[in-house]
């Protein structure tokens, strides 16, 4: 059996040490700010996440662009040339064209290297929800599963990766077309905080609005209580609100037998749209 590499993109929001631990390859996506292009490397070499969120809080806006098939092909080619196959787990097709670009690249690579396997899975996930799917897939690979077995595992498990999150500032969601300008204005005045999730098709869906930050964080915990199936792995990502993320983590640890918890920043590619103060909770549930 040929060895294979799990490839993903930086919207998985993994810290550098986790990339190393899992032995995966991460393609850095890019964002634009202050007239230049930055890449979202797991080690944050281009921009520190605290600096990024400080810039957003000061009113500076960034932009993102779709990743090209050529970028994926450039990442895939050295792997197959080294005699290894590829399992690519990509950012949700419901939120970007990343998955489609990965599929185009896979077809191009296979045309040049027909003896290789390049399998692509749509994570239907974002941030550390995508990261959780990659983590679970890497764990299966470490247990000796074949590339096809891990692909099938990821395709099944993705419908059980729950994404529940809240944001502190509705104006960033307004920019992305997730809420109307009127709803953002009224919601900001009334201190309304949306609770959102990612659905079975990988789309971002507003579920409810609650009044105040504390209530919105409690709503995330309530969703976990309702849906959790396997609490052994819990991931939390945040938009520059580390203390709140760690407090949420402590509350969950007190309640559930968590074996692995990761807390990290929402990276700039997603954070540009969700804004500072985003708090996201990921766990395995009965359904999304």
> pLDDT per residue over 193-229, tens digit each?
888 899 999 988 888 888 889 999 999 999 999 999 9
What is the reported pLDDT for 212?
87
**If you search the block for the tokens 């359904």, which residue do you land on?**
287
Query: Residue 182: its pLDDT value, please?
Result: 46
The domain segmentation of the chain, as residue ranges, is 4-159, 160-285
Note the CATH number of domain 4-159.
3.40.50.10170
Query: What is residue 185's predicted lDDT score, i.e. its pLDDT?
Result: 46
The four Cα atoms 56, 61, 66, 67 give a dihedral, to 10 degrees, of: -50
Largest CA distance in the chain: 60
CATH number of 160-285: 3.30.1180.10
pLDDT at residue 179, rounded to an integer: 56
The pLDDT of residue 131: 98
Give the pLDDT of residue 97.
Answer: 95
pLDDT at position 209, please? 85
The predicted pLDDT at position 61 comes to 83
Interhelix angle 147-157/127-142, nearest 10 degrees: 140
Nearest to 278 by CA among 236, 227, 249, 231: 236
pLDDT at 172: 55
Q: What is the pLDDT of residue 207?
A: 84
For 212, the token pair is 């105040």
Q: pLDDT at position 176, please?
A: 53
Those residues of the chain that have pLDDT short of 70 are: 170-191
């Amino acid at each position: 059996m040929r060895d294979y590499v799990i490839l993903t993109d930086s919207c998985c929001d993994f810290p550098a040490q986790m990339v190393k631990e899992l032995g995966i390859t991460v393609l850095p996506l890019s964002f634009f700010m202050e007239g230049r292009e930055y890449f979202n490397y797991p080690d944050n070499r281009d921009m520190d996440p605290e600096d990024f969120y400080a810039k957003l809080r000061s009113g500076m806006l960034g932009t993102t662009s779709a990743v090209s098939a050529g970028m994926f092909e450039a990442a895939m080619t050295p792997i197959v040339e080294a005699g290894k196959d590829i399992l690519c787990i990509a950012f949700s097709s419901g939120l970007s064209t990343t998955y489609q670009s990965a599929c185009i690249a896979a077809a191009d690579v296979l045309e040049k290297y027909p003896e290789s396997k390049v399998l692509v899975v749509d994570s239907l996930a974002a941030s550390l929800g995508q990261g959780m799917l990659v983590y679970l897939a890497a764990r299966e690979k470490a247990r000796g599963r074949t590339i096809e077995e891990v692909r099938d595992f990821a395709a099944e498990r993705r419908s059980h990766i729950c994404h529940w999150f809240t944001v502190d500032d509705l104006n960033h969601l307004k920019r992305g077309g997730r809420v109307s300008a009127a709803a953002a204005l009224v919601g900001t005045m009334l201190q309304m905080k949306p609770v959102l999730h990612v659905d079975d098709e990988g789309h971002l869906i507003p579920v409810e609005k609650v009044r105040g930050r504390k209530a919105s964080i409690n709503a995330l915990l309530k969703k976990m209580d309702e849906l959790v199936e396997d609490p052994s792995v819990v991931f939390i990502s945040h938009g520059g609100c580390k203390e709140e993320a760690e407090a949420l983590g402590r509350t969950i640890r007190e309640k559930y037998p968590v074996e692995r918890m990761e807390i990290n920043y929402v990276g700039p590619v997603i954070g540009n749209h969700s804004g500072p103060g985003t708090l996201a909770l990921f766990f395995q549930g009965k359904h999304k």
